[in-house]
Amino acid sequence: MTKLHIVDDDEAIRDALGWLFQSRNVPVAGWPSAEAFLEAWQPDTAGCLLLDIRMEGMSGLELFDRLLSRGCRMPVIFLTGHGDVPIAVGALKKGARDFVEKPFNDNELVDRVIDALAFDAEQREREAGQAGLAARLATLTQRERQVMELVVAGRLNKVIADELGISMRTVEVHRSHVFEKMQVKTAVELTRLLTGAS
Amino acid sequence: MTKLHIVDDDEAIRDALGWLFQSRNVPVAGWPSAEAFLEAWQPDTAGCLLLDIRMEGMSGLELFDRLLSRGCRMPVIFLTGHGDVPIAVGALKKGARDFVEKPFNDNELVDRVIDALAFDAEQREREAGQAGLAARLATLTQRERQVMELVVAGRLNKVIADELGISMRTVEVHRSHVFEKMQVKTAVELTRLLTGAS
DNA sequence: GCGGCTATTGTGGATATCCGCAGAGTCGGC
DNA sequence: GCCGACTCTGCGGATATCCACAATAGCCGC
């Protein structure tokens, strides 16, 4: 389920943030440590992360690194009481969405979280489309993939036949199999699919 | 000409940085104030910017804002002696490439500047391609644009004819004019052009 | 070995696309 | 009024694409 995941080892802060967000109708889950969240995290965990930097055990930054290396692309907002420019710069350059110092403005933080949640939702939608595409691509045979690449490159069947050293008829067969498996009717549609157009 | 533009009101620092970069074969231009650079800036000014935050008159941040609003997309690296997290975060979120506190590591800074210069060069190359594309698009008539959109959407000529309420032959004529003006031979190539594929 | 998947090719015909040749109507500028 | 552009259309033919029917062959698993 899409929600805001608050990772902070200070229960009082988790509670306060939980109250703040729930009062704005933002669903929240609290985690008492980076380790706890990391263990529970799954590739399909959705929403966004509000991460304290300084914690007992694993720091927020380290959690961020580990999540990145596991392919997590959830938006992350860091929350810190002891600002440090190089840390903030490093986190943002690694892809963190924001870096907020305490004390923070409630409304601003809520807005940023809501933006981040919306961003994550959109991103997951895009990725779902890509996953379907990847699944269809996986059903193609080697030869079909080769033909598809040349079709998408704009080559005519006769040219493809020539380049692959096979007859035009065979190219036509592969081509139609590709169209069928990729669920398109024309080369243009196929090109749009693969180049990620609207 | 592509070069590193150093904007700092402290002549000693400009000189020191100038020496550093020229010794690494990075061409440099120094500017004593944000105003001076802003006045000299042109849309075709290439390279990257090394920008001091605190200066007499216009600050580095304000220069950055003004450049952005003028459509400047040169990579900007901020240099500051008095770090401040919200400022750094704000600058990076607005699109600054980096935010470095003094004292800095010479080699690291040089590397980042070289990366930024390379990025700018690539970006300009991409934009040059886009400009050529835009120029060709501008030569199309209204009708040709309509037909092109439908072609790129994957419609067959007969369908296009139907949707526009004209004969197939006319669609063919427009279609071939589009291909000619856009300098492509097939609908697939045209689609790749417009969707920005390799 | 048989069945299924993949790759290959052919024939022949229905559609679609590409193009030259020809002509016609509108609209705006010189 | 003439010229140039844009738009529209038809005819016919050369190519290309789409497809059903039909067949051969290698590879793999049961």
Three-class SS of B1-40: CCEEEEECCCHHHHHHHHHHHHCCCCCEEEECCHHHHHHH
Average pLDDT over residues B4-19: 95
The CATH fold of domain B3-128: Rossmann fold (3.40.50)
- Which residues sit opposite A47 in a β-bridge? A3
N-to-C CA span, chain B: 27
Asked whether residue B170, judged by its CB, lies under 7 Å from any atom of the DNA or RNA strand C, the reply is no
Instruction: Provide the pLDDT for residue A198.
Output: 66
CA-to-CA dists, residue B182 to A154, A186, A196, B173, B186, angstroms? 15, 21, 21, 14, 10
Asked whether residue B143, judged by its CB, lies under 7 Å from any atom of the DNA or RNA strand D, the reply is yes
Of 3.30.70.870, 1.20.58.1030, 1.10.10.10, 1.10.3720.10, the CATH number of B139-195 is 1.10.10.10
Asked whether this complex has an ipTM greater than 0.90, the answer is: no
Q: Where are the domains of chain B?
A: 3-128, 139-195
Judging contacts by C-beta atoms under 8 Å, the chain A residues touching residue B89 are 88, 92, 98-100
Q: Is the backbone of residue A100 left (phi > 0), alpha (psi -120 to 50) or beta?
A: beta
Helix (H, G, I), strand (E, B) or coil at B79: strand
Judging contacts by C-beta atoms under 8 Å, the chain B residues touching residue A160 are none
Query: Which nucleotides in chain D lie less than 7 Å from some protein C-beta?
Result: 5-12, 16-20
Report CB contact under 8 Å: A154, B196: no
Residue B178, exposed/middle/buried by CB under 10 A (0-12, 13-18, 19+)? buried
Give the integer Cα–Cα distance in Å for A9 and A14: 8
Judging contacts by C-beta atoms under 8 Å, the chain A residues touching residue B197 are 191, 195
| pLDDT tier, B198 (very low <50, low <70, confident <90, very high otherwise) | low
Average pLDDT over residues B169-182: 94
Residues 6+ apart with CB under 8 A from A120: A2, A46, A47, A48, A74, A75
Instruction: Provide the pLDDT for residue A84.
Output: 87
Q: Is the backbone of residue A196 left (phi > 0), alpha (psi -120 to 50) or beta?
A: left
Residue A95: CB atoms within 10 A of its CB come to: 11
Do residues A125 and B128 touch, judged by C-beta distance below 8 A? no
How does pLDDT run across B142-159, given as a tens digit for each residue? 999 999 999 999 999 999
Asked whether residue B164, judged by its CB, lies under 7 Å from any atom of the DNA or RNA strand D, the reply is yes
Q: Give the helix ranges, DSSP H, for chain A.
A: 11-23, 34-40, 60-69, 85-94, 106-138, 142-152, 157-164, 168-182, 187-195
How many Cβ pairs within 8 Å bridge chains A and B?
A: 80
Task: List the structure tokens of A123.
Answer: 């991103």
Report CB contact under 8 Å: A192, B197: no
Query: What is the identity of the amino acid at B100?
Result: V
Of 3.90.1170.50, 3.40.50.12780, 3.40.50.1100, 3.40.50.2300, the CATH number of A3-129 is 3.40.50.2300
Nearest-neighbour CA in chain B from A141: distance (Å): 22
How does pLDDT run across A128-180, given as a tens digit for each residue? 988 889 888 988 999 999 999 999 999 999 999 999 999 999 999 999 999 99
Average pLDDT over residues B25-47: 95
Over the Cα atoms of chain A, what is R_g?
24
Instruction: Provide the pLDDT for residue A122.
Output: 95
Instruction: Provide the pLDDT for residue A132.
Output: 87
Do residues B140 and B178 touch, judged by C-beta distance below 8 A? yes
Instruction: Provide the pLDDT for residue A18.
Output: 95
Q: Is the peptide bond before A103 cis (omega within 30 degrees of 0)?
A: yes
Average pLDDT over residues B165-169: 94
Query: What is the identity of the amino acid at A136?
Result: R
Asked whether residue B169, judged by its CB, lies under 7 Å from any atom of the DNA or RNA strand C, the reply is yes
Same fold, B3-128 and B139-195: no
pLDDT in tens, chain A (198 residues): 899 999 999 999 999 999 999 999 999 999 999 999 999 999 999 999 999 999 999 999 999 999 999 999 999 999 998 778 999 999 999 999 999 998 889 999 999 999 999 999 999 999 998 888 988 898 899 999 999 999 999 999 999 999 999 999 999 999 999 999 999 999 999 999 888 766
Instruction: Provide the pLDDT for residue A187.
Output: 93
Q: What does the DSSP 8-state code read for residue B139?
A: T
Asked whether residue B186, judged by its CB, lies under 7 Å from any atom of the DNA or RNA strand C, the reply is yes
